[in-house]
């Protein structure tokens, strides 16, 4: 079941100065549980047809996310066809298999025509994708996946590899792809390697054997690597291929979102210094809203990707470690982004990062944090930022807070985990901030902390240059009842 809904947009974007790129989109398996969008970019200039899929396995999110980014790359020739989220129900459920399918049909990447099997694909959604793929007759077919471990460290997994169908054309480009991506990886055992032929029943193998496409599977590794790193590796490898084919410009590799969009574009920092479930919780906060949310790492920020976004969110973890990961250059780029009109939301560690009292902090908000080291009798010197494990506290919005964050009445519960106790610093050259919420209870571990948290600001907001910041000490992203508060916070800083 395929129906293209072509709509022609003549946008002056990209490097294609002669023709106009033609965009079309539609749904595969329309009207079924497996319905998922496809996107076609046609440069209008003769050239290769490249077909990219992501999310065939639902618990391999980086492939789907990278494909969702790559579909916004302007192309100079040929056609780029992308199905970013093939197994959409699996991606939503974070499961490898097709949810609800019996054992012999549940692995979507075994349902395509086998080497010595029938010429058709088995069941939906494989049959819909296969039919569409055959109709488009791609010269190149790229399937984006993830393994659970680095292949060089654990040969049971194909993580961090390129599995291609070999042949002269692949032999020209695969070494270039390996070289480019491996230049970004320091640990030799975590570098990409080239592996054997794709498995029987996989779409990559079928695309090669039945359609004659130069075919490859790109595998990143989920283990201990942020999603921003894995999507960047996918982008890098695909970019080398598309550059090799003369289809994209040098800077496309950093294009993460559409150039023009009415929808909010949010960057969520997920790399060094981020701890726990912050970025995943933020996915949930914005899941039902119409926005473009992307994970970014320090490398992406230093490559100036923030300029594509309306705001950046720094979630929980360690403010000093986030600052260290960004480096001086990355921190200056974040400051310039806010100064130039970008928005900043800092949650817990992100609210430390925005402060003005550390050598490493951004200094975009005129607040200091209660963090001095006190020598405690019989305990020794202790830093006062540490108040123990995660615990619920009470928080109440001010009138200014209700105007920005929504009309939540009275004190309500929110998760707290060593967020900053914020107070006005009075640093020259910085404006003030307004208090949007107040802690109405507190947690403390050491005597000198008692009474310092209750009635102190839980959320503050202000302006830095042309931009706005909002610092949240506790963790509203952990509670679905407070998702609206964060959605409103994002909208306000982006305004």
Confirm if 67 and 73 have CB atoms less than 8 A apart: no
Place of tokens 């928080």: 395
Give the binding range for Zn ion (CB under 5 A) out of 118-126, 142-150, 174-182, 460-468: 142-150
3-state SS of 143-209 is EEEEECCECCCCCCCCECEEEECCCHHHHHHHHHHHHHHHCCCCCHHHCCEEECCCCCCCHHHHHHH
| Near Zn ion in 331-350, by CB under 5 A | none
Give me the least distance between CB of 189 and Zn ion, in Å please: 21
Q: Whose Cβ is closer to Zn ion: residue 60's or residue 477's?
A: 60
Give the binding range for Zn ion (CB under 5 A) out of 21-29, 140-148, 165-173, 261-269: 140-148
Given the DSSP bridges, would you call strands 214-221 and 140-147 parallel, antiparallel or unpaired? parallel
Tokens of 310: 């309306």
Give me the least distance between CB of 20 and Zn ion, in Å please: 36
Give me the least distance between CB of 63 and Zn ion, in Å please: 8
Our finding on whether 145 is near Zn ion (CB under 5 A) is yes
Give the binding range for Zn ion (CB under 5 A) out of 7-15, 20-28, 32-40, 59-67: 59-67
Our finding on whether 57 is near Zn ion (CB under 5 A) is yes
Q: Whose Cβ is closer to Zn ion: residue 163's or residue 436's?
A: 163
* Cα–Cα separations (whole angstroms), residue 230 to 88, 99, 283: 19, 24, 17
Q: Whose Cβ is closer to Zn ion: residue 72's or residue 145's?
A: 145
| Near Zn ion in 380-419, by CB under 5 A | none
Q: Of the candidates 471, 486, 469, which has an alpha carbon nearest to the alpha carbon of residue 337?
A: 469
Our finding on whether 151 is near Zn ion (CB under 5 A) is no
Give the binding range for Zn ion (CB under 5 A) out of 60-68, 98-106, 132-140, 270-278: 60-68
Paired with 265 in beta bridges are 292
* H or E element, residue 434: strand 433-439
Give me the least distance between CB of 232 and Zn ion, in Å please: 18
Give me the least distance between CB of 92 and Zn ion, in Å please: 16
* H or E element, residue 102: none
Give me the least distance between CB of 106 and Zn ion, in Å please: 13
Q: Whose Cβ is closer to Zn ion: residue 111's or residue 318's?
A: 111
> Total residues contacting Zn ion (rule CB under 5 A)?
3
Give me the least distance between CB of 145 and Zn ion, in Å please: 3
Give the binding range for Zn ion (CB under 5 A) out of 53-61, 159-167, 350-358, 411-419: 53-61
Q: Whose Cβ is closer to Zn ion: residue 114's or residue 145's?
A: 145
- What is the Cα–Cα distance from 317 to 369, expressed in whole angstroms? 16
Q: Of the candidates 232, 231, 290, 230, which has an alpha carbon nearest to the alpha carbon of residue 266?
A: 290
Q: Whose Cβ is closer to Zn ion: residue 58's or residue 420's?
A: 58
Give me the least distance between CB of 464 and Zn ion, in Å please: 43
Q: Whose Cβ is closer to Zn ion: residue 145's or residue 295's?
A: 145
Q: Of the candidates 286, 276, 343, which has an alpha carbon nearest to the alpha carbon of residue 316?
A: 276
Q: Whose Cβ is closer to Zn ion: residue 147's or residue 316's?
A: 147
Give the DSSP letter string of 226-272: -HHHHHHHHHHHHHHHHHHTT-S-GGGGG--S-SS-SSEEEEEE-ST
Tokens of 236: 């890098």
Tokens of 33: 């549980």
Q: Whose Cβ is closer to Zn ion: residue 129's or residue 345's?
A: 129
Give me the least distance between CB of 143 and Zn ion, in Å please: 8
Give me the least distance between CB of 57 and Zn ion, in Å please: 4
Confirm if 423 and 368 have CB atoms less than 8 A apart: yes
Q: Whose Cβ is closer to Zn ion: residue 90's or residue 467's?
A: 90
Phi first, then psi, for residue 150 (nearest 5°) are -75, 125
Give the binding range for Zn ion (CB under 5 A) out of 12-20, 137-145, 180-188, 439-447: 137-145
Q: Of the candidates 46, 51, 41, 53, which has an alpha carbon nearest to the alpha carbon of residue 7?
A: 41
Give the binding range for Zn ion (CB under 5 A) out of 141-149, 164-172, 321-329, 344-352: 141-149
Residues that bind Zn ion (CB under 5 A): 57, 60, 145
């Amino acid at each position: 079941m395929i129906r293209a809904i072509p709509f022609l947009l003549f946008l002056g974007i990209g490097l294609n100065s002669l023709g106009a790129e033609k965009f079309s989109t539609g749904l595969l398996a329309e009207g079924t549980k497996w319905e998922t969008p496809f996107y076609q970019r046609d440069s209008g200039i003769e050239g290769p047809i490249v077909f990219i899929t992501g999310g065939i396995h639902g618990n391999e999110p980086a492939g789907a996310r990278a494909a969702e980014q790559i579909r916004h790359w302007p192309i100079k020739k040929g056609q780029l066809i992308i199905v970013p989220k093939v197994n959409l129900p699996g991606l939503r459920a974070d499961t490898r298999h097709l949810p609800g399918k019996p054992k012999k049909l549940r692995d979507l990447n075994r349902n395509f025509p086998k080497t010595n099997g029938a010429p058709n694909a088995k069941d939906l959604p494989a049959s819909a994708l296969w039919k569409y793929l055959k109709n488009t007759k791609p010269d190149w077919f790229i399937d984006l996946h993830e393994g659970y471990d680095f292949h060089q460290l654990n040969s049971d997994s194909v993580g961090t590899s390129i599995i291609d169908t070999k042949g002269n054309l692949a032999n020209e480009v695969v070494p270039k792809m390996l070289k480019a991506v491996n230049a970004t990886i320091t640990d030799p055992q975590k570098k990409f390697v080239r592996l054997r032929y794709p498995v029987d029943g996989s779409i990559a193998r079928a695309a090669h054997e039945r359609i004659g496409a130069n075919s490859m599977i790109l595998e990143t590794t989920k283990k201990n690597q942020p999603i921003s790193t894995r999507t960047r590796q996918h982008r890098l490898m695909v970019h080398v291929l598309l550059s090799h084919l003369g289809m994209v410009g040098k800077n496309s590799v950093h294009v993460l979102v559409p150039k023009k969009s009415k929808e909010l574009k949010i960057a969520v920092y997920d790399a060094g210094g981020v701890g726990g479930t912050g970025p995943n919780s933020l996915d949930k906060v914005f899941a039902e809203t119409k926005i473009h949310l992307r994970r970014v790492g320090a490398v992406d920020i230093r490559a100036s990707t923030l300029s594509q976004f309306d705001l950046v969110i720094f979630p929980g973890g360690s403010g000093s470690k986030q600052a260290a990961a960004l480096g001086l250059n990355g921190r200056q780029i974040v400051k310039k982004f806010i100064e130039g009109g970008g928005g900043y939301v800092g949650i817990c560690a992100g609210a430390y990062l925005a402060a003005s009292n550390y050598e490493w902090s951004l200094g975009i908000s005129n607040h200091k944090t209660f963090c001095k080291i006190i020598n405690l009798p019989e305990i020794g010197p202790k830093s006062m930022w540490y108040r123990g494990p995660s615990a619920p506290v009470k928080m109440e919005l001010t009138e200014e807070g209700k105007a920005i964050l929504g009309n939540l009445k009275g004190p309500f519960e929110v998760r707290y985990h060593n967020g900053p106790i914020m107070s006005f610093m009075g640093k020259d050259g910085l404006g003030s901030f307004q208090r949007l919420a107040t802690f109405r209870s507190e947690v403390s571990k050491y005597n000198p902390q008692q009474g310092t948290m209750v009635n102190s600001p839980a959320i503050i907001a202000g302006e830095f240059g042309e931009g706005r910041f909002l610092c949240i000490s506790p963790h509203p992203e952990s509670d679905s009842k407070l998702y609206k508060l964060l959605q409103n916070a994002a909208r306000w800083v982006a305004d």
